[in-house]
Amino acid sequence: MKHFYLFWALLLPFCLSAQLTESFDGEKIDSRNPWQGDTSHFRITPEKELRLHTNATKSEKMLYIRSVSLLGNTWEGKVRNGSVGSYNNCFHFYLWCENANPAQSGYALLLRMGNSKNIDLRWKRGNISENTLITGRTLFEKANQDVYFRVTTDQDSLCTLYSKTEGDTDYVEEGKVTLDSGNASGYYMIVVKYSGDHAKNKYIDDLFIESYTPYKEEPPTPTDPPRLTWLEQDGDTAVILTFDQPVYANEGIFVMSELGRTDIIYQTDDGLLVRPVWPQGFTDQKTYTLSYSNLYDANRSSAFRGECSFTAVCKSFAKGSLLFNEIMADPNLLTALPQTEYVELLNLSGEAIEMEGWTFVYDSREVTLKQSTLLPDHYLILYREGQTIATGDKGKGMPLLNFPAQLANEGKRLQLKDPWGKLIDEVTYGKAIPGKSWERGTDGWYISTDPKGGTPGSSNSDPYYIPEEPEPEQPPVAPFTLVFNELLPNPYTNEEEYIELYNRSGEEIALTGLAIATRKSDGSLNTSYHLTPLPPIQAGAYLLLSKSAASVARRYTILYPEHIHEVKLPILNNEGSNLVLFRTADGVVIDEVSYSPQWHDSSIKENKGVALERIDPDKPTQDETNWTSAAATAGHGTPGYRNSQYLQPKDDDPSGIEKPLYSKETESYSIQYDLEQAGYKCRGSIYDLSGRIVSEINNNELLGSSGSLTWNGKGKNGEKLPPGPYILYIELYHDNGDTKRFKEVFLVY
């Protein structure tokens, strides 16, 4: 921290004190103030607001400016989140930060808005620690709400957080805290985090910083060129050059006598250390001369060159210090591990080994290993680039472009050579068994006994292990135990279809071995979509399947998010399809429905977004009278829970309409109903005592078998009705000719 304060103290004579006011009323982001960072990912709207405008891929974008003071300062601004606040959709305002990158070490005062739908203030130390100072109100539980913030600090380090929303008449104090820090000048940063579907709906405006000092870059002071102060051999393939000041080595030329020029060059972030690598390796006790040129100082103002010599001291690896330990030549039938061929190495040398320059030989084909440090008693798994691998708790993967495309199942000779060509290990493995690896033990090689089929990156299995008797298999799912319960073939535009299953068996059902498909006109099935990865479905529970859970949540009420699963599904034809749920092992049909848009209620003139609901899960699936449209009062769909048209067994005459019940919280009236069959339409009105209609509460909407109607207590003119007695009149009518009428006198409050 002392060096940091000194750095800024040197800059202060070149700065002028000012305030920062930013309303984004110019043509460009930096029209008024010198914003830096991801400026191309933001736009100025016609309303003169700053809007995130970037690619639809989950990420974060940053803007920053310098210089601001930590103490004796005030920060203000306004944000609007086009989505509900979450970890991936929020604002991080670094009101003061030592570095332009908050992940670097250094302190920062961080204002977070929307992470947990609330506003809070934190004190951050790079990516090392983060302490919550003030936890404020929940302000981001809904989208598109303007939220104003104000943070103040005084010279005694007292910090206060305020916020204001559209419903507040003035700022609300969220809390106070005393900061434990100095008052060096720093950066002001705005980090906007977003998910893929919310990459263009984050807004910022009306920024204000009371104590802001425009930063003026001073021309660099000419210095002597960097000087090499130390050369150190690093392993058997590299050297480390230490300079007395930062250097720019991206265009550097490094030539080693006998070995030539290398293009493999590494450099530390501070620019003081440069590490060129020669994969062919040094020879023990040989003297080399290193020439370097085209290096620059940190300002890239002038190039310099140099030359130095050293005598190499190379390590000699003993035979067996690095061993072949496991070979997976035939990964077919693997389920718990990726179906990837691999060769595992084990470091038994007792010290770390740099793998760069080692050679893996398959038969006569040589594959050079890449840079990697293999710790003692740890494993290195070699496999073909582009595939996936499991690495275990002590393993490290090395994808290789030239790794054999296919290891021979009949066995092959493998060799391992150190960077100087010395043979360290050699083995010829036996015939492979599908889904089982060869593992090395004290008595030689054996087929893995691990239930997974192999142990990449961890200790080998016990060669004498006798597996326990497997648990008895679950009986296969019986027909009509799991049934189609709700279908959405014709979703709203740009939304996804869904299929709901219901477990009517009384027992938990595992979905292993089940699939859904549509049936062709010749009786055969189209592409099968397996349900095996899904969790079991409990007795009496519902399982909602869709290509997009977010799509379903946008349009319908979700009571149980855990019942909704994203899977691939067959396309449901709007004009009807034959949908089949079946066992993949033997093709036995569990349930089948050939739905039709004609099954919708006659009151539904446009069925887009209206689900078909099963009325009684115990009646035959293909009975068209057992299906109807989801009730309008339920939002035309009940994904993942009991259908609005579900018909429970009732008494002889259970139908009825209850008297309106007033709620002080909502200032509305709830009218409960319970009907003996699905499919009733409703007309409902409110009359005064003289017989005049003063309000309508329902006009020919489709009801469920039970539910409630809501009336806001207002008349036709939109104003609250005067208190007093009124008459509720409801008429229910069904396509089968049934009609019911209800009249109730009630009080309006």
| Position 63 pLDDT exceeds 80 | yes
Q: Specify the pLDDT at position 175.
A: 96
Mean pLDDT in the chain? 89
Residue 700 and residue 682: Cα distance in Å, rounded? 5
Q: Specify the pLDDT at position 217.
A: 57
Residue 597 and residue 218: Cα distance in Å, rounded? 74
Residue 668 and residue 663: Cα distance in Å, rounded? 6
| Position 59 pLDDT exceeds 70 | yes
DSSP designation for 420: T
Task: Based on the fold, state whether residues 626 and 724 are members of the same structural domain.
Answer: no
Residue 455, domain member (yes or no): no
Task: Based on the fold, state whether residues 103 and 205 are members of the same structural domain.
Answer: yes
Contacts of 458 (CB under 8 A, 6+ apart): 379, 392, 393, 394, 395
Residue 595 and residue 622: Cα distance in Å, rounded? 8
Task: Based on the fold, state whether residues 202 and 243 are members of the same structural domain.
Answer: no
For 110, other C-beta atoms within 10 Å of its C-beta total: 23
DSSP 101-155: STTSSSEEEEEEESTTSEEEEEEEETTTEEEEEEEEEE--SSSS-EEEEEEEE-T
Q: Scanning the structure block, which residue is given the tokens 């705005």?
A: 190
Task: Based on the fold, state whether residues 111 and 181 are members of the same structural domain.
Answer: yes
| Position 654 pLDDT exceeds 60 | no
Backbone φ and ψ of 553, nearest 5°: -65, -25
Q: Specify the pLDDT at position 706.
A: 84
Question: Three-state SS across 14-37?
Answer: HCCCEEEEECCCCCCCCCCCCCEE
Q: Which two structure tokens, joined as six digits, stand for 442? A: 């004290």
> Comparing C-alpha atoms, which of 192, 122, 191, 193 is closest to residue 151?
122
Residue 653 or residue 44, greater confidence: 44
Task: Based on the fold, state whether residues 688 and 551 are members of the same structural domain.
Answer: no
pLDDT in tens, 169-191: 999 999 999 988 767 788 999 99
Q: Specify the pLDDT at position 8.
A: 32
The CATH code of the domain that includes 741 is: 2.60.40.4070
Convert 433-462 to b/e letters by CB count within 10 Å (16 or more is b).
bebbbbbbeeeebbebbbebbbbbbbebbe
| Position 439 pLDDT exceeds 90 | yes
Terminal CA-CA length for the chain? 67
Residue 21 and residue 536: Cα distance in Å, rounded? 58
pLDDT in tens, 82-106: 999 999 999 999 999 988 776 665 7
Residue 69 and residue 211: Cα distance in Å, rounded? 6
Q: Specify the pLDDT at position 425.
A: 95
Task: Based on the fold, state whether residues 603 and 559 are members of the same structural domain.
Answer: yes
Residue 173, domain member (yes or no): yes
| Position 13 pLDDT exceeds 60 | no
Of 307-321, 398-412, 490-504, 546-560, the poorest mean pLDDT is in 307-321
Q: Specify the pLDDT at position 3.
A: 34
Task: Based on the fold, state whether residues 199 and 240 are members of the same structural domain.
Answer: no
| Position 313 pLDDT exceeds 50 | yes
Task: Based on the fold, state whether residues 583 and 624 are members of the same structural domain.
Answer: yes
Contacts of 224 (CB under 8 A, 6+ apart): none
Residue 461, domain member (yes or no): no
Backbone φ and ψ of 196, nearest 5°: -60, -35
Residue 220, domain member (yes or no): no
Residue 456, domain member (yes or no): no
> Comparing C-alpha atoms, which of 324, 451, 429 is closest to residue 379?
324
The CATH code of the domain that includes 289 is: 2.60.40.1220
> Comparing C-alpha atoms, which of 94, 213, 119, 236 is closest to residue 174?
119
The CATH code of the domain that includes 564 is: 2.60.40.1260
8 Å CB contact between 134 and 157? no
Contacts of 713 (CB under 8 A, 6+ apart): 662, 667, 668, 669, 720, 721, 748
399, 423, 447 — which closes off a domain? 447
8 Å CB contact between 693 and 687? yes
Task: Based on the fold, state whether residues 61 and 121 are members of the same structural domain.
Answer: yes
| pLDDT bracket for residue 9 (50, 70, 90) | very low
Task: Based on the fold, state whether residues 185 and 154 are members of the same structural domain.
Answer: yes
Q: Which two structure tokens, joined as six digits, stand for 572? A: 């449901």
DSSP 466-518: -PPPPPPPPPPPPTTSEEEEEEESSPPTT---EEEEEE-SSS-B--TTEEEEE
255, 282, 311 — which closes off a domain? 311
| Position 129 pLDDT exceeds 70 | yes
DSSP 687-738: E-TTS-EEEEEEEEEEP-SEEEEEE-SB-TTSSBPPSEEEEEEEEEE-TTS-
Residue 488 or residue 131, greater confidence: 488
634, 666, 689 — which closes off a domain? 634
Name residue 177's beta-bridge partners.
Answer: 159
Angle at 194 between CA 190 and CA 197, to 5 degrees: 150
Residue 647, domain member (yes or no): no
Indicate the pairing of strand 444-447 with strand 146-153.
unpaired
Backbone φ and ψ of 101, nearest 5°: -115, 110
Task: Based on the fold, state whether residues 488 and 590 are members of the same structural domain.
Answer: yes
DSSP designation for 425: E
Q: Specify the pLDDT at position 405.
A: 92
For 596, other C-beta atoms within 10 Å of its C-beta total: 14
Task: Based on the fold, state whether residues 562 and 490 are members of the same structural domain.
Answer: yes
Half-sphere exposure of 144 (CA within 13 A, CB side): 2
Structural domain harbouring 284: 228-311
Number of compact structural domains in the chain: 5
| Position 58 pLDDT exceeds 60 | yes
Residue 656 or residue 508, greater confidence: 508
Residue 339 and residue 236: Cα distance in Å, rounded? 36
> Comparing C-alpha atoms, which of 116, 144, 147 is closest to residue 132?
116
Residue 383 or residue 421, greater confidence: 383
| pLDDT bracket for residue 469 (50, 70, 90) | low
Q: Specify the pLDDT at position 567.
A: 94
Residue 198, domain member (yes or no): yes
> Comparing C-alpha atoms, which of 221, 209, 213, 161 is closest to residue 184?
213
Residue 190, domain member (yes or no): yes
| Position 221 pLDDT exceeds 60 | no
Residue 490 and residue 576: Cα distance in Å, rounded? 10
8 Å CB contact between 432 and 330? yes
Q: Give the burial class of 475: count Cβ atoms within 10 A of its Cβ; 0-12 exposed, 13-18 middle, 19 or more buried.
A: exposed
Residue 742 and residue 712: Cα distance in Å, rounded? 20
The CATH code of the domain that includes 125 is: 2.60.120.200
